[in-house]
């Protein structure tokens, strides 16, 4: 039976084929050779406190249109000035309303690492991401074979990029670890049904060995949820909908970072946080 993820990936492959007709791999390789090196996002995500990957996101399959975002560069600049560690930019056009033009605009506007958020299914897209200035790429385990995951992860590293390897269940978590992932994002959203399962992070994080950066994704409504995930061991959170729908994204960025950082500092006290409700979304992170 075809799933939501299958449908999205099919569209991604169609759009990718059109771009490959216009721009060859050798053209991308030449562009990459002329660029300065990628920023070391992994090192920044390992910093003390809770890191925030703040997302420029117009729409999602589960919620439809979220925000117009006429000027993605201006929004990214607000995020960065407020303390976001990295900026995530959706480039999938059919379900998320994104584009490589958005990535170009954000890259030109900020000096923090930039994540190309898309459904990566070929090596070409990794080269494409770097050619457009991305420092981080998303690799969704659910949409890749083991061989593809290892090859694309290695390519990203060879290009100096950080790979955010996204998982949704126990099997995918083990596959990510086996592939050598150094940054693992746990997405609370089931990509096949788009349902949120708020306990996913707490269930999977014990399976991730020490030394691997852990990122909580999807369903993070604000500071309280960020603090809860930080107390459970998240070193970073990826937040989209909450930021683009809010009236004051800068204040929300600061609140999330402050609450999450306080919770990480308080891990040794044994303080507990509740479970977030499945209301907000922060995707792809696969496909919300």
Q: Which one is catalytic: 42, 88, 92, 117?
A: 117
Active site residue 217: yes
Closest CA to 175 of 208, 202, 197, 206: 208
Active site residue 170: no
**Checking DSSP bridges between strand 213-217 and strand 236-239, what pairing results, if any?**
parallel
In angstroms, the CA 200 to CA 179 distance is 21
Q: Which one is catalytic: 88, 190, 218, 288?
A: 218
In angstroms, the CA 124 to CA 72 distance is 25
Active site residue 55: yes
Locus of tokens 């050619």: 131
Phi, psi for 167 (deg, rounded to 5): -130, 160
Q: Which one is catalytic: 57, 88, 190, 252?
A: 57
Active site residue 192: no
Active site residue 218: yes
Active site residue 117: yes
Which three-class secondary structure state does DSSP give residue 136?
strand
Locus of tokens 């603090």: 227
In angstroms, the CA 132 to CA 118 distance is 13
Q: Catalytic residue positions? A: 55, 57, 117, 166, 187, 217-218
């Amino acid at each position: 039976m075809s799933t939501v993820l299958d449908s999205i990936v099919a569209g991604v492959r169609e759009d990718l084929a059109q771009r490959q007709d216009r721009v060859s791999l050798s053209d991308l390789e030449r562009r990459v050779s002329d660029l300065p090196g990628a920023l070391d996002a992994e090192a920044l995500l390992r910093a003390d406190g809770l890191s925030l990957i703040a997302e420029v996101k117009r729409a999602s399959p589960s919620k439809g249109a979220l925000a117009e975002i006429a000027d993605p560069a201006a929004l990214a600049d607000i995020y960065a000035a407020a303390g976001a560690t990295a900026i995530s930019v959706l480039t999938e056009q059919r379900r998320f309303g994104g584009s490589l033009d958005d990535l170009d605009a954000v890259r030109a506007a900020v000096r923090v690492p930039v994540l190309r958020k898309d459904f990566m299914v070929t090596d070409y897209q990794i080269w494409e991401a770097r050619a457009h200035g991305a420092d981080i790429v998303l690799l969704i385990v659910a949409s890749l074979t083991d061989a593809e995951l290892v090859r694309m992860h290695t390519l990203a590293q060879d290009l100096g990029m950080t790979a955010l390897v996204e998982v949704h269940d126990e099997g995918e978590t083990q596959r990510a670890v086996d592939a050598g992932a150094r940054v693992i994002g746990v997405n609370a959203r089931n990509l096949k049904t788009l349902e949120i399962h708020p306990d996913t992070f707490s269930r999977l994080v014990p399976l991730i060995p020490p030394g691997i950066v852990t990122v909580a994704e999807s369903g993070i409504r604000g500071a309280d949820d960020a603090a809860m995930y930080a107390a459970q061991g998240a070193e970073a959170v990826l937040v989209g909908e909450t930021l683009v729908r809010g009236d004051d994204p800068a204040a929300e960025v600061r609140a999330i970072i402050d609450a999450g950082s306080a919770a990480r500092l308080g891990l040794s006290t044994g303080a507990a946080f509740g479970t977030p409700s499945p209301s907000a979304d922060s995707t792809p992170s696969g496909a919300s």
